[in-house]
């Protein structure tokens, strides 16, 4: 090798090492989280329990797109809300937004498919990711998941009570203890009068309020009521309450909602400061609150939005009510219970093929058993029997089938029951998987 060749090689390897060292790991975005095996079982459990309960209350699932026209959220959630003003992931040039919540999309679909014609009252639920550009912290993410339920087409206060009872039942089934806080936000008849009174109360105290509240005092004065800043809270303690300014139909509705809750033995308290961060609400609003998650106390929330379908281009007089549960928060609470939700890894049979021939024999057998719906694991890397037994333990395999040259020659493999440690010979031919199935079905022999 000449000196120049050597120089070129050395330079190349130095460059290669440099390249290896400078390859930067790509990580998930801040506020976006992977749900990995080991954790995903808890999510599956949560969904299963929710689906069972939604079914008992006669809800049907609807699956919705993640991207919608920005206008849909601006018109429903409200231009002056934090969500629309600051938190939406919007492709400005295309005027489309990744949904920050599910209600607007669900109503868009309800109107688009003329669902109000098919059934006078539609009960729908959807489960999936939502996107809000908030400051991430425990229980608050930028991509988070909601289980969202909506009842469209009924104004009956019993529906409000029934929905809250369903939320309480779901949380009870999950062993999560919460308090249910309820309020009424009135309607376009009674709210303007109250709003005027509230603005004059706020104006008298404007200097003592935080910057956000000063701004909101004219754009969205009701939001001043639920500001979390202690000085603002103090100032608002004796603010007029909407509950005391409801028009007769709203007062009657609210009374009947409470009677329904009592009839169903749902424990609740009234919270005159709850206004919710979305503008579409009227009359009943509610939140399920936990004391076990620090600042992110609401595990679920919702309310009535009687004018919203019409605002989005649907038929007149189409009332609606719904709520959404935050799945990350529910998962955090379930994790605190330290229960075992099973692992996805427990397999019926681990096939340990020894050497190329053993692996080759096990390959087709695994496929035939999987076609019979058995959960089979197998190593394709030609590892030692010891290493494969370790993998079988990790996978919580009920059985291990050992196939080496001797077993192939005799046409019989060694089946080991991992619980009893008993071993037994079984026929290996794919055509004879019937010989294995009784063992897999019933682990005693
Ligand atoms: P929301 O109060 O904005 O209401 O959200 C409902 C629930 O979603 C919250 O109580 C919380 O558990 C969860 N959540 C919200 N933001 C985050 C976040 N950044 N990270 C983790 N969890 C979060 C709505 O979205 C309405 N659409 C509910 C509704 C349905 N109203 C009527 N129908």
The Cα–Cα gap between 407 and 402 comes to 8
445 and 424 Cβ atoms separated by less than 8 Å: yes
100 lines ligand 1 (CB under 6 A): no
Closest-lying ligand 1 atom to the alpha carbon of residue 300? 10
148 lines ligand 1 (CB under 6 A): yes
Type and span of the H or E element at 288: strand 282-289
The token pair at 17 is: 């090492």
The predicted-structure confidence for 318-367, as pLDDT tens digits, reads as follows: 999 999 999 999 999 999 997 777 665 689 999 999 998 889 888 988 99
Sheet holding 412-417, edge to edge: 376-378, 349-353, 399-403, 412-417, 423-427
The Cα–Cα gap between 69 and 62 comes to 19
Q: What DSSP character marks residue 26?
A: P
* 327 alpha carbon – ligand 1 mean position (Å): 10
- 68, 98, 101: residue to mutate for ligand 1 pocket, most atoms within 8 A of CB: 101
* 84 alpha carbon – ligand 1 mean position (Å): 14
Type and span of the H or E element at 310: helix 308-311
103 lines ligand 1 (CB under 6 A): yes
Does the global pTM surpass 0.95? no
* pLDDT for position 445: 47
Q: For residue 272, what are the contacts with CB-CB under 8 A and spacing of at least 6?
A: 183, 225, 241, 242, 243
160 and 284 Cβ atoms separated by less than 8 Å: yes
The predicted-structure confidence for 171-187, as pLDDT tens digits, reads as follows: 999 999 999 999 999 99
Assign 3 a pLDDT band (cuts: 50, 70, 90): very low
Closest-lying ligand 1 atom to the alpha carbon of residue 302? 31
Protein residue with least CA distance to atom 30, ligand 1: 323
The sign of the CA dihedral 131, 132, 135, 139 is negative
| Residue % of the chain over a pLDDT of 70 | 92
Q: Which of 13-27, 55-69, 85-99 has the lowest mean pLDDT?
A: 13-27
Q: Which domains does the chain have, with CATH numbers?
A: 40-190+246-336 (3.30.930.10), 349-441 (3.40.50.800)
Protein residue with least CA distance to atom 17, ligand 1: 140
The sign of the CA dihedral 51, 136, 73, 320 is positive
Residue with tokens 């929710």: 50
134 lines ligand 1 (CB under 6 A): yes
Q: What is the overall mean pLDDT for the chain?
A: 91
Backbone angles phi, psi at 125, to 5 degrees: -135, 155
Assign 436 a pLDDT band (cuts: 50, 70, 90): confident
Protein residue with least CA distance to atom 2, ligand 1: 301
The predicted-structure confidence for 218-254, as pLDDT tens digits, reads as follows: 888 888 988 888 999 899 999 999 888 999 999 999 9
The token pair at 248 is: 């007769």
150 lines ligand 1 (CB under 6 A): yes
The Cα–Cα gap between 327 and 144 comes to 7
Q: For residue 55, what are the contacts with CB-CB under 8 A and spacing of at least 6?
A: none
The Cα–Cα gap between 182 and 321 comes to 14
322 lines ligand 1 (CB under 6 A): yes
Q: How many CB atoms lie under 10 A from the CB of residue 344?
A: 12
301 lines ligand 1 (CB under 6 A): yes
The predicted-structure confidence for 275-284, as pLDDT tens digits, reads as follows: 888 999 999 9
The predicted-structure confidence for 72-87, as pLDDT tens digits, reads as follows: 999 999 998 899 999 9
Residue 355 pairs in a beta bridge with none
304 lines ligand 1 (CB under 6 A): no
The Cα–Cα gap between 198 and 272 comes to 13
* pLDDT for position 428: 80
* pLDDT for position 407: 86
* pLDDT for position 265: 97
SS3 148: strand
Closest CA to 307 of 298, 316, 299, 296: 316
Protein residue with least CA distance to atom 8, ligand 1: 326
């Amino acid at each position: 090798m000449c000196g120049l060749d050597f120089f070129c090689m050395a330079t190349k390897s130095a460059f290669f090492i440099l390249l290896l060292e400078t390859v930067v790991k790509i990580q998930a975005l801040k506020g976006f989280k992977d749900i990995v095996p080991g954790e995903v079982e808890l999510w599956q459990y949560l969904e299963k329990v929710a689906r069972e309960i939604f079914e008992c209350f006669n809800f049907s699932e609807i699956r919705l797109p993640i991207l919608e026209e920005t206008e849909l959220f601006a018109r429903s959630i409200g231009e002056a809300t934090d969500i629309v003003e600051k938190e939406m992931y919007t492709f400005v040039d295309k005027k489309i937004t990744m949904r920050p919540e599910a209600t607007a999309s669900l109503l868009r679909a309800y109107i688009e498919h003329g669902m109000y014609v098919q059934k006078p009252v539609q009960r729908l639920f959807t489960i999936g990711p939502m996107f809000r550009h908030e400051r991430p912290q425990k229980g608050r993410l930028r991509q988070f998941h909601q289980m969202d339920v909506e009842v469209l087409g009924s104004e009956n206060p019993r529906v409000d009570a029934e929905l809250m009872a369903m939320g309480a039942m779901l949380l009870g089934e999950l062993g999560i203890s919460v308090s249910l806080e309820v309020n009424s936000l009135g309607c376009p008849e009674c709210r303007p009068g109250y709003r005027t009174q509230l603005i004059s109360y706020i104006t008298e105290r404007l200097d003592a309020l935080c910057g956000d509240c000063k701004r909101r005092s004219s754009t969205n004065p009701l939001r001043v009521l639920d500001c979390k800043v202690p000085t603002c809270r103090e100032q608002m303690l004796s603010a007029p309450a909407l509950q005391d300014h409801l028009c007769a139909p709203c007062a009657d509705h609210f009374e009947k909602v409470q009677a329904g809750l009592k009839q169903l033995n749902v424990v609740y308290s009234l919270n005159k400061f709850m206004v919710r961060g979305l503008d579409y609400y009227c009359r009943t609003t509610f939140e399920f609150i936990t004391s076990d998650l620090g600042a992110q106390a609401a595990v679920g929330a919702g309310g009535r939005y009687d004018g919203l379908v019409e605002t989005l281009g649907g038929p007149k007089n189409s009332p609606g009510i719904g709520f959404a549960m935050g799945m990350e928060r529910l998962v955090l609470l379930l994790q605190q219970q330290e229960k075992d939700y099973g692992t996805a890894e427990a397999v019926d049979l681990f096939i340990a093929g020894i050497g190329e021939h053993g692996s080759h024999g096990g390959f087709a057998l695994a496929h035939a058993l999987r076609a019979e719906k058995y959960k089979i694991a197998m190593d394709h890397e030609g590892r030692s029997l010891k290493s494969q037994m370790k993998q079988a333990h990790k996978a919580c395999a009920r059985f291990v089938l050992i196939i080496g040259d001797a077993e192939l020659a005799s046409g019989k493999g060694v089946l080991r029951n991992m619980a009893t440690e008993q071993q037994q010979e079984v026929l290996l031919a794919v055509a004879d998987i019937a010989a294995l199935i009784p063992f897999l079905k019933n682990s005693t022999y």
